[in-house]
Structure 1
Amino acid sequence: MNSYGFPSMLQYSRLNTSIADTKAKAEAARIEVVTGRIADLEAELGGSVGDAQLLRKAISDVELMQAATQRSLGRAQIAQVALTRSTDGVETNATNMLSAIGRNDEQSINIAATQAGLQLDAAISAFNTRYEGRSLFSGDATNQPSLADAETLLTDIRAIFAAAPDAATREADLDTYFNDPAGGFATNIYLGGDGIAPRTEISDGELINYSAKADEQAVKDLLRGLSTAVIANENTTWPDREQALTRAAAGMIEATEDLVTIRARVGAAEERMVAADTRLEAEATALGATYNERTARDPYEAASMLQQLESQLDASYLVTARISQLSFVNYVR
């Protein structure tokens, strides 16, 4: 007869409980081997676990702020490209137009006016630039385009030219159209919001406005110059045509210079965001180093513990298998 006694359900249950506990510890050890971090911070750190949790939250807060800053920086950089594109070649073309008017060179005037039409399309396209699904020049209405198409604008300007009995009336009507809050530009052309785009927090309590809007004065002046150059050139027999073309070309040059100011403003915001991103990166690195010091698990220690626990599991499984094979017949043999 064998010397071991008949296994009881209590012994079997205790063995299964022990195996479950060992499996849990082995799984924690596997996690520690992979992550290099303590799996159960509360059990390991005790009363200091709160400090580790505060560090983890601080790291998450910094990472979120850094991600927001980087997204905003990307928008500002694309906006800079669009602002540059909106005036590409405009000043040169306007200068050529003034020179052609001075020489009474009709062919060159037509070429410059045609170029102004192309530049109007390009400018409106630039101010309708989107980035990550957001319109960059629509203020707080980031879900919709900034400007209507060029033909809509040209139709409105053509009507103003046709209705004005003289140059003074025409210029007054153009002033109302582009500059009055209830004028045609505000109601027909600018499609964005009245407010600015949401600002970005680049540090605790420090918000930065990095946006530009398509209804800013420099933008309106640019579109006015380009569109009036196109329409004024359409009526070659109109007595005030030369005056209108001259004012349009001068307005194009002035608007191009004013847009440089907007680009400088956006550029200053870019510099602040770059500096903030660098600062946040350094802060995240420092916090991460401190957190790692408190929560890191030595990989060799974790691997050794895992190997030991797996050996215990193997032994426990072997004992369980042997117990499960026992029967009353085996017991009384």
Structure 2
Amino acid sequence: MTFGITNISSLQFSMFNRQNVQSTTLALQRAGQELATGRKADIFADLGSNAVSTIKLRAREADTQTYMKSNDVLGNKLETMLLSVDTARDSVNSVLERAVTNASRPHINAEALQRDAIVALDRLVAVMNTKYNGDHLFSGVNSEAAPLVQWSQTNATTGLSPKDAIASIFGGGPTDAASAASLAGQIDLAFASNDAGNPNRNFEATMYQGTPVLDGGGQPNDQLKAWVNVGHQVSYGVRANDDAFVEAYKGLSMLAVTDVSTMDEDAYATYMDSVITALGNAQDGMIAVSSQIGFTQQIVETAQTQLTDVSLIQRTQIGTYENVDPYEAATRVQSLEIQLQASYEVTSRLSGLSILNFLR
């Protein structure tokens, strides 16, 4: 009878045990990492073909987070714009109330209308020149330029201040109802930027420096737009050359250019009618602008809610693919620690064995 004996040298056993310790140590390190982070240490190796799904989900989640951050900024912009428009409307309203009180003839503090109009103009310009993150909110695409020029500030392009431009139209002032109506008509042309006789007096030449109403080809310039969600874009821009603010600047400048209380009575009534009409239009227009901003805020808030829900779903799905069960990971760490400890004990015992111990 023949017996086969397989011999394993102590060197071979030592090398095998060393490899076992090394692989167990690496597995323990990986399990410890997973236990600490809650995520698979090697996602692609663990998921195999399913790794494609998690890559797609992470790309979608990155896009979702980009939209959400952009909407946060847009929401803050809209809130700042709304506060600015409301402040401008309050300034106009305070002057309008006094103008209405003195509509047909100068009654109560009519001589203060000029001073109040200048103060309101300065405030109107200040709020329309509001900046957010370095951009002027009411300049349109040309956000690097402050949209409105202060009443007494010289425009570097035309060499005129708004005060100079309106004063050159006003001249010596109206002497009767007819001349007052004619004067108001000339001022209307300037604020419609249609003063062909002296284009430098136009609103978009001397008073306004943002994106014009029309482009070089005579087509309307677009307002600012933003993507709030996939396939959903909103127009949110409000410019200081929108009708409401042009009317406000016009009505206030008509009072700021002169002390209306010194006018001829007939001229006064006609002139003040134009002033009150402009300021009333401004009030109505600013209310409409505030409503539009509020509507856009609702759109952004709705989109943000949708994105938050989508993000939660995507992150949950990503977690299903990439996260580990903490209890399973803890059990695995404990098991590997025991296995490694046993390997160390075997190694220690082997290192103590010697032929000399048996030859004594």
Q: TM-score range by the shorter chain?
A: 0.7 to 0.9
Match runs of 1:297-312 below 5 Å:
297-309=324-336
Q: Distance in 2 between matches of 1:119 and 1:321?
A: 91
Q: Distance in 1 between matches of 2:104 and 2:282?
A: 21
Q: Distance in 2 between matches of 1:322 and 1:123?
A: 90
Q: Distance in 1 between matches of 2:163 and 2:241?
A: 17
Deviations 1:13-64 (A, max 9, x none): x94x777765654444344223322121111111111111111111111111
Match of 1:186 among 184, 188, 204: 204
Q: Distance in 1 between matches of 2:29 and 2:253?
A: 71
Contact 1:232–1:241 at 8 Å: present in 2 too?
A: no
Shift of 1:322: 12
Inter-CA distance 246–198: structure 2 relative to 1 (3 Å threshold)? closer
Any idea what SS the aligned residue of 2:258 has? helix
Contact 2:181–2:271 at 8 Å: present in 1 too?
A: no
Deviations 1:54-94 (A, max 9, x none): 11111111111122122212211211111111111423431
The letter for the 1-side match of 2:305 is T
Contact 1:129–1:135 at 8 Å: present in 2 too?
A: yes
Unaligned runs of 5+ in 1: 324-333
Between 1:148-157 and 1:288-297, the stretch displaced more is 148-157
Residue 170 (structure 2) aligns with: 161
Match of 2:243 among 205, 213, 217: 217
The letter for the 1-side match of 2:242 is E
Deviations 1:204-260 (A, max 9, x none): 222101121111111111111011111132x75454455434422331122111121
The answer to whether residue 232 in structure 2 is matched with residue 206 in structure 1 is yes
Deviations 1:241-294 (A, max 9, x none): 554344223311221111211222222211111111111111111122222122
The CA RMSD measured in Å over matched residues stands at 3.6
The answer to whether residue 321 in structure 2 is matched with residue 294 in structure 1 is yes
Q: Distance in 1 between matches of 2:41 and 2:287?
A: 55
Match runs of 1:107-256 below 5 Å:
108-152=109-153, 153-162=162-171, 166-180=179-193, 184-194=202-212, 195-196=221-222, 198-233=224-259, 237-239=262-264, 240-241=267-268, 243-256=270-283
Shift of 1:154: 2.4
Larger gyration radius, structure 1 or structure 2 = 2
Residue 216 (structure 2) aligns with: none
The letter for the 1-side match of 2:238 is A
Q: Distance in 2 between matches of 1:314 and 1:128?
A: 72
Match runs of 1:41-80 below 5 Å:
41-80=43-82
Contact 2:110–2:261 at 8 Å: present in 1 too?
A: no
Inter-CA distance 37–163: structure 2 relative to 1 (3 Å threshold)? farther
Q: How many pairs align?
A: 322
Contact 2:54–2:318 at 8 Å: present in 1 too?
A: yes
Contact 2:104–2:268 at 8 Å: present in 1 too?
A: no
Inter-CA distance 312–104: structure 2 relative to 1 (3 Å threshold)? same
Residue 302 (structure 2) aligns with: 275
TM-score when normalising by structure 1: 0.81
Identity %: 22
Inter-CA distance 186–31: structure 2 relative to 1 (3 Å threshold)? farther
Any idea what SS the aligned residue of 2:59 has? helix
Contact 1:76–1:266 at 8 Å: present in 2 too?
A: yes
Contact 1:139–1:213 at 8 Å: present in 2 too?
A: yes
The letter for the 1-side match of 2:323 is A
